[in-house]
Structure 1
Amino acid sequence: MKSLLLSAAALSMAATGVYADTSDKRIALSNNYAGNSWRQAMLQSFDDVAKAAVADGVVAAADAFTTSENQATEQAAQIQNMILQGYDAIVVNAASPTALNGAIKEACDAGVVVVSFDGIVTEPCAWRIAVDFEEMGRLQVEYLASRIPDGGNLLELRGLAGVFVDDEISAGIHKGVEQFPQFEIVGSVHGDWAQDVAQKAVAGILPSLPDIVGVATQGGDGYGTAQAFAAAGRETPLIVLGNRQDEMAWWAEQHEATGYETLSLSIAPGVASLAFWVAQQILDGAEVSKDLSVPFLQVTQDTLAETLAATPEGSVANTTYTLEDAKAVIDGAM
């Protein structure tokens, strides 16, 4: 009877695609910040994939935790608590590329798989999933140069101070200005990847700025920037956007009214789902490169209507990654 029961269980696992090697494993998400639409969409993407994986028996648990503030010390304590709770893998969107390294190393030493994404870490024992954020910044200036060949003054909107993503995109923007010296960055403010913060920050600096022809951004800040220019009675510059639904809706309205065109680009929030599957594959024994790269998601005038229609109100244009997608990314890196 016992052997018959075991055989039945094995057949059930084969039929449902359950992964015997990870069905008892527990994965946690450590997230440093949730104060904008991108982070909310990221958490939703993780939750959707994680719940399905638990229901299918792929893993035993997949829980998400977010710190109350973007503080590395708080997130480090959160990770240490995850180690004590016995999680087998932790996927991390980090507050700092370096300040969490001690806690990350503790996790690795305890046998915990650590996969960082978006805000990645430099601790060698961890895996990293990121887009080429520097290229994303440089490409913005290249696009501005294609639209405004004579150049002019630029305003730079930055993200959360001290976070890897902010530093890399900003470095790319400045690299772009070196490549296209007809532009000059005459102002820079932190918008924290949030429309309301960006609007206040831009409103505060605008009175001190000369005419602005273009704005390089980081995502979650384009619509707030546009509102600040409108409130100040200043002409709307060419603002590169970041795939948020509200700014794409604004873009569509402006295009219909005046023919306004721009470019929108960002990392897909669904990268959290990719991080989940990469962690699962590592737990399952797959050989995975320590550094994985995914393309950023671009929206052009030609794809705006379709992308906007597929993006829920208040959310972000997104791609959710499947197990097959993760295997393709892993194979491509290897």
Structure 2
Amino acid sequence: MHMRPSRRSWRTAPAALAALAVLTAGCGSTGAGDSAAGTAATGAGKPFIALSNGFIGNGWRQTMIAKFEAAAEQAQKDGLIGKYKVVNAPGENSATEQVAQIKSLLLQKPDALLIDPSSPTALKPVIQQACTAGVKVVVFDSAIDAPCAHVLQNSFADWATQAAKPLLDGIGGKGSVIVSRGVVGSQPEAEMYETTKKILAEHPGVKTVATVTGMCDGATAQKAVLGVLSSVPKVDGVIGCGDGYGVAQAFATAGKPVPAVTFETNGRALNYWKDNKIDNGSVAVMSDPGQSVAALWEALDLLDGRDVPKQLTFPIVLVEQKDLDAWAGALKPDEYAAWPWTRELFRQQVEAVKSGGEPVRPPIPSAAG
């Protein structure tokens, strides 16, 4: 996906590590310190799928793991895989820890290895080691400097576009906005910011009155926006990258009406948006934690010898006003919106990528689970 200091920096949620024990206790999964759990083979001759996750300490990552485990458990029951294993690095998105983690997994001889990487470059040697050993490697949620790996990711340009265009249309294409940037200096943030600037240039009636660094994190954005509110005029919108809940809190603290914002795609933010009847051009958009499930289907198709492009771009998750009630009702507070990728929907999206057609839009889940 991207060159960046840390995925942790993009989606940090306070106290998120408290949920780790729940996420790593499921069938076939294991934390980095519990290498024996979930390793008993249950399907002779069926593939063993391993997932290495470079960081677990936020709600997006926890949703990603939960979705993968649910899909892998069902795939095991359906006889598609023999076993699966998840290993979450315990530290601060450390590439060194993840390299050691992957080497340990390779000793267990998985047929396919899925990786949400801590670094776009540092994992290259161990990924090459896996490929040389005949392991199918699927990297998701990030770009990677490893030519032998297949890569599945979301588009940062799409993320920035959907964070800005619907919001600007919602405020009538005129007024004053604040831009809340992500991890300044990282490749994805640079791509997103350039996209945002191009879109703003297409809206001459919109004036940018302040630019802050919100890190795509609600708490950070809340402090950053609150710090400039006393020095800016009326604000009609705040273009961010999934930090709108914190931005809304900043305006409420300052005693100002909440403008159009870019909300997070978790249940807490969406229900705040819904319960406060905010109808002013706000949107919610982030990358899709369901990428882990799509990566599972990609690994199985690669093992089956199917033709899958080395690079796949899957759709982001965009929540607009018309879909707010459905998404808000489907998510727990710390759960992030994820597309429910079935194997058939995955294959349809692969064909759309090959043909350059419209991306597949899976249905909105009907209930939290």
The code of the aligned residue for 2:57 comes to G
Q: What is aligned with 1:305?
A: 325
Confirm or deny that 1:97 pairs with 2:117.
no
Q: What is aligned with 1:264?
A: 284
* SS of residue in 1 equivalent to 2:252: helix
The code of the aligned residue for 2:115 comes to V
Larger helix proportion, structure 1 or 2? 1
* SS of residue in 2 equivalent to 1:303: helix
CA contact (8 A) 2:154 2:288 kept: no
Do the aligned partners of residues 198 and 95 (structure 1) sit closer, same or farther apart at CA in structure 2, a change above 3 Å counting?
farther
* SS of residue in 2 equivalent to 1:62: strand
**Inter-partner Cα distance in structure 1 for 2:144 and 2:203:** 31
Alignment partner for residue 40 of structure 1, among 37, 62, 73? Answer: 62
How high is the TM-score relative to the length of structure 2? 0.74
CA contact (8 A) 1:246 1:314 kept: yes
Q: What is aligned with 2:86?
A: 64
**Inter-partner Cα distance in structure 2 for 1:210 and 1:102:** 52
Q: What is aligned with 1:243?
A: 265
Confirm or deny that 1:224 pairs with 2:246.
yes
**Inter-partner Cα distance in structure 2 for 1:209 and 1:81:** 54
Structure 2 unaligned spans of 5+: 1-42, 355-369
The code of the aligned residue for 2:312 comes to L
Confirm or deny that 1:152 pairs with 2:152.
no
**Inter-partner Cα distance in structure 1 for 2:231 and 2:99:** 39
**Inter-partner Cα distance in structure 2 for 1:125 and 1:247:** 39
**Inter-partner Cα distance in structure 2 for 1:285 and 1:149:** 49
The code of the aligned residue for 2:58 comes to N
CA contact (8 A) 2:151 2:311 kept: yes
**RMSD of aligned residue pairs (Cα, Å):** 2.7
CA contact (8 A) 1:95 1:162 kept: no
Alignment partner for residue 116 of structure 1, among 139, 148, 166? Answer: 139
Q: What is aligned with 2:213?
A: 189
Count of matched residue positions in the alignment of Structure 1 and Structure 2: 309
CA contact (8 A) 2:168 2:281 kept: no
Structure 1 unaligned spans of 5+: 1-19
Q: What is aligned with 1:9?
A: none
Residue 44 (structure 1) shift: 0.7
CA contact (8 A) 1:153 1:210 kept: no
Alignment partner for residue 255 of structure 2, among 210, 224, 233? Answer: 233
For the pair shown, which has the larger CA radius of gyration, 1 or 2?
1
The code of the aligned residue for 2:236 comes to V
Identity %: 32
Residue 222 (structure 1) shift: 1.6
* SS of residue in 2 equivalent to 1:247: helix
